[in-house]
Each structure stands twice: as C-alpha cells, then as structure tokens.
Amino acid sequence: MSFAGKIWRLLVGIKDGLALLFLLLFFLMLFSILSSRPNPGQVQDGALLLDLDGFVVEERSVVDPIQTLLSGQAPVGEYPAHSLVRAIEAAADDDRITAVALDLSRFMGGGQVQLQRVGEALDLVRKADKPVIAYSMGYADSGIMLASHASEIWLDPLGGAIIAGPGGEQLYYAELLEKLKVDAKVYRVGTYKAAVEPYLRSSMSDEARENYAALYGTLWEEWKSHVSKARPKIKIDLVTSDPAAWVAASGGDLAEAALAAGLVDKLGTRIEWGERVAELAGEDEWNERPGTFAVTELEPWLADNAADTSGKAIGVITVAGEIVDGEAGPGTAGGDRIAGLLDDALEDDLAALVVRVNSPGGSVTASEVIRDAIVRHKAAKDIPVAVSFGNVAASGGYWVGTAGDRIFAEPETITGSIGIFAVIPTFERAAADLGVNSDGYRTTPLSGQPDLVGGFTPEVDAILQSSIENGYKDFVELVAKSRGKTSAQVDTIAQGRVWDGGTARQLGLVDQFGGLEEALAWAAAEAKLEEGDWHAKRLGSQVDPYQSVISQLLSASASAEPPRANGDMFTYAARAQSQMSAQIVSDLERLTAGKGVQAYCLECPRTGVPHAAPMQSQSVSMWQLLGAFFTR
C-alpha cells in the first residue's frame, strides 16, 4: 500500500472517529435534556416566584417542534390553573415560603373562572400571614383580577393600568364577499346562532346583540363584584365611566392615574419591587445583582409538592379547547385521543369519574365520540360521573356534558349555545366574472355535487338544510333526556342562545354551583368515600418531553433575563392588532376549511392561547361532506 493511501485511510479513520464522537455527544446532550426534571433540591427558604409569562389555561397544549424551532421563538407560556392552585396552596402551609412574588410583566390573561380559583388560592396565602407582592409594567382586566388578591400591587412608573370590560367589535365580511362575488351558503337552526352572521351581514343582528348584552353584562358584573371584594378601595366607576377624564386628571400619566384610582398601591421599578420582596423573604445568597431575592421557582416547587396519591383514585379527564376529530391535543380536544384515554382507564380501579370541560365546541362526531366513551366507561365500571364546566362549556362542550350524572358550573361559566350551523362558500359568480362557466349533464340532481364553481342544486340545498334540522333535533333530544325535560322545553332555551352559569342553573342546564373541587367532592360522596380516602388522578396529563427540549434550546440563545413587555397603551394597541389578525385567519379558516356543520360559540370570549388551525382541502365529495358533516 502506498504512503499516500495509508495517509488517506488515517484521515478517513480520524474523520469517522470524530463523527462518532460528536454523534455520541449529541445523544448524551439530548438524553440529559430529556431526562432532566425540575429538582426539588432547588427549593429554598424565601419567596415563591410566579413569573406568569403567558396564559393561565385549563390544559397545557402540545408544541409543534418543527414549527417552533423554525420560528426561533420559545413557545408562549401556559400555566394550568390546577397546577398553580396546588403550588399556591402548598406555599400557604409551608414554613419555607414566607411570601409569594407575583410577576405579571408578561402575563397575557386567562378565563374568569380560572383566575378566580387562582385568586382564592392567593387569599389562603394572605390568611396565613404571608404577603403576596405583585408587579407589572402594565395591568389589564385579567392582570387586575389576579393582582387584586395581592397584599401590595406594584406598577412601574413608566407603565399603566386600564379596565376595558368584556365585549368589543366583531368583524363582518358580507360586503367583502359581495365584492368578491363569493356566496356563503349558510344552513342553520337557532334564532341566536350568531356564528354565521359575519358571513351574512355587515353588522350585528338584534337577536345577537340581545344575547351579547345579557351574557357580557353578567360577566362584567361578576368581574366587578369579584375585584371589588378582593380590593375594596378600587374605584372601578372612576376608571370606566370616563376613562379619558380619569387619565387627564393625572396629566396623562397612566401610572399616577392607576395609583389615584386604587388600581395599584406603589409605583416602582422592577429592581425596587425585588428589593421589597427581599425585605420580606430574604436576600439571595447566590446572586448579588440588584433586585434579586431568595427565590423558589414554580417548577421545582411543584416537583417538591407532588399531588397526593393516597386512597382510591377518582379519574379526571379534561376536554379543553376546540373539539376536533382525531388524536389532536392536549390543549385541543381530539375526540379519538380523549376516548382512548377513557378506554385505557377501564383497566384502572377508578371509584368515580369527573369530566372537566373548557371548550366552545367543535366537531359533533368528535363530541359524540367523547360522550359515548364517557357513557361506555360509566356503564362498564358502574361509577358516578360528574361534569365540571370551566370558563366555557358551550355547543359541543355542552354536548359532551350531557353524559354526566351531575353538572357543576360557576356563575361566570359560559354555556348553552344549543344550536347548529354550516357555512360553505361557492364561487359561481366570481368564476363567471372571470369568464369561467359551468355546464354538463346530470343523471340525478346530485350528480357532480357539491359544485363549488357551478353552485348547488336546489336539491342539495334542501338536503343540507334538512340535515342541519335533524342534527338540531338530535341535540335537543339529547339535552332533554339528560336534563329530564321535554324537547319542547329545551327548544325554548336552546336556539343557539348562550347563557351565563347563573342563568343556566335557573333554566336547569346546570345542577349546582361549584368548580372542579366541588365536583370531585360530590363524586367521592356518591362513591361512598370519606374525605382523605381518595385522590384525583388526571388521565393523560403527561407533558411531552420534547416541549422541554425545545424550550431549553430556544431559551439557551436568549439572555438570562428575557425582556419584559411594555405596559403602555401602544403595546395594548399592538397586541389588539395581532389578535385581530388571528381572528381574520380564524374566520377565513372557518369559512373555507370544509368543517361542515358547526355548533361553535362565537359569543364565547377568546381567552386562551391563539392557535392557527391548518387549512384543510375542500376537495370533498357530497357523501364525504355529509359523513363528516356534524361539527359542533
């Protein structure tokens, strides 16, 4: 072998060895990240830090690893309300925690029901003579609701606070569709089913306005009552009756205006807030940077305070987000996934089952798959089933709830919306304008249908409307059987109308006020279990390990202290623009994605993490359309 050949073989060997070494190092790094868990050893005496950089949610959603890595941005933070409550209640009883530091600088909101429960947990900390110190650059409705439970509310001098109240503008596309010569074929049952109005009208109907006024009026009164009770000195009327005059009285200084109205207690920078927490909880021995304090973060604290597993198990299955067909979720209620969890749990020794619903609706086929799985589970195990409604349980969410023996809701819960619709765009006028015409030969009135370019035949219109009416009849009969009413009685309170929890209870759509804890207690009593003899077992609540990997990889490229969100009015305007863009995308997707019949609650406030659903193909046959037709 020549000398050059030997050198070549040596170089190839070195290259292969280095490649193998780097591959081993990569997998070792990947394994260390995947196997890393919050360490209870990170718990120390001092303050529990709740840095809520995102949304309070019912269930943490799945992160798309490819999309997230390509975006280069860490996923929006999501904090399940039940985890926050467990952490805060543990802090109230643990001598190692002497204060709670509530950092809302990047807080993006949550539903009233969820925030009220977290607020009640913060009240327990204060009752244990432990201060809760909140800070933010800016407070809006959700932040004020949460911070109202704090001992001290700090606001940055350059920030501000506003109270907007529920409600706002809805986009209407009828004139745009007319200009584009696109026909939105709408099929619906329900006087109050307003979700199709954006495609039919240029303004809100009187019926929809009546429903919005009743629903949002109740939510607004509940919000004011809750905040005023937690913070009696707040001047809500001053802030909301003439907000321009209120700000002008402080010379345009939003921070001073917030202080004058009792929205906050003190103005100070984040450094000054940290120094105040350090006075109460102690200095950080490991970090001498200004504004630091002895701290225990949320994840290690939760790891150190694992949920109780003594006694018999009561299963808790969560139906959160839009209800869709397939395996989607968590964070989206994939019907097959949730039904699979229930079927897998048949092997577990569950004493009872609680179904937690926080959904504005979705696919009827998926809703029925979930409902049928609950009924199947109840029959097979012969156990009591309670249903707990969260912030919203409407349309398909209520469909799922009919499987329970008893329904619990809060006064702020949004429910009802028993009505269905479908909207399908056709393009015959737009095509004709472009010189594209449709003609052919039919053997039956259904040949070649649905024809989105040539238009629907009258027979197709009649069949689709009949299907909608039959679906509505099925929905009403299901509710009537569940609630012990006649179909006629349910029809009078259905028609797509949305109700607050208090009115829903008066109408018999809800049995009892209460949250998840009350539903669990009822289920335990029905199963003849004494207090302390049972624990809640969440079905399918494991966190995807790749989510941790992605967060760590993206966080590694960021600074140790991520930038805080500004709290001025311009920031809120920018956020509103982003939310409006998301709404347009969502409305377009609902019109064009071929979802079929909907019983979706348009009136329900959009308080969760915005997720854009992928566009779906519209190339479907008539029978595929009918087969996948019923979506709630």
Q: pLDDT tens digits, residue range 130-148?
A: 999 999 999 999 999 999 9
Q: pLDDT tens digits, residue range 275-292?
A: 999 999 998 888 778 889
Percent of the chain with pLDDT over 70: 78
Give CATH 3.90.226.10 domain extents, the chain.
Answer: 40-163+231-304, 312-538
Burial, 109: exposed, middle or buried (Cβ in 10 Å; 0-12, 13-18, 19+)?
Answer: buried
312-538, superfamily in CATH?
A: 2-enoyl-CoA Hydratase; Chain A, domain 1 (3.90.226.10)
Q: What is the pLDDT of residue 563?
A: 46
pLDDT confidence band for 626 (50 / 70 / 90): very low
Query: Does 597 have pLDDT greater than 80?
Result: no
Q: Which residue has the tokens 């925690």?
A: 97
Query: Does 346 have pLDDT greater than 50?
Result: yes
Within 10 angstroms of residue 58's Cβ, the number of other Cβ atoms is: 28
Averaged pLDDT score across all residues of the chain: 83
- Give the CA diameter of the chain: 97
Q: What is the pLDDT of residue 619?
A: 33
The CATH number, out of the four listed (3.40.50.300, 3.40.190.10, 3.90.226.10, 3.40.640.10), of the domain defined by the range 40-163+231-304: 3.90.226.10
Q: What is the pLDDT of residue 26?
A: 63
Within 10 angstroms of residue 580's Cβ, the number of other Cβ atoms is: 13
Within 10 angstroms of residue 450's Cβ, the number of other Cβ atoms is: 22
Comparing 148-162, 213-227, 250-264, 539-553, which segment has the lowest mean pLDDT? 539-553
Helix boundaries (H) for 356-422: 364-381, 396-401
Mean pLDDT value across residues 570-590: 60
Under a CB-based contact definition with an 8 Å cutoff, are residues 5 and 242 in contact? no
Query: Greater confidence, 223 or 28?
Result: 223
CB hemisphere CA count around 288 (13 angstroms): 0
Query: Does 624 have pLDDT greater than 50?
Result: no
d(CA 453, CA 466): 23
Query: Greater confidence, 103 or 583?
Result: 103
pTM: 0.82
Query: Does 250 have pLDDT greater than 70?
Result: yes
d(CA 332, CA 68): 17
Q: Active-site residue numbers?
A: 193, 395
Mean pLDDT value across residues 225-231: 96
Q: What is the pLDDT of residue 562?
A: 45
Nearest 10 degrees: Cα torsion 392, 361, 572, 48: 50
Mean pLDDT value across residues 38-58: 84
Query: Does 567 have pLDDT greater than 90?
Result: no
Under a CB-based contact definition with an 8 Å cutoff, are residues 360 and 604 in contact? yes
Q: pLDDT tens digits, residue range 427-445?
A: 888 888 888 888 888 888 8
Q: pLDDT tens digits, residue range 64-102?
A: 666 665 666 667 889 999 999 999 999 999 999 999 999
Q: What is the pLDDT of residue 116?
A: 94
Within 10 angstroms of residue 1's Cβ, the number of other Cβ atoms is: 7
Query: DSSP character for 294?
Result: -
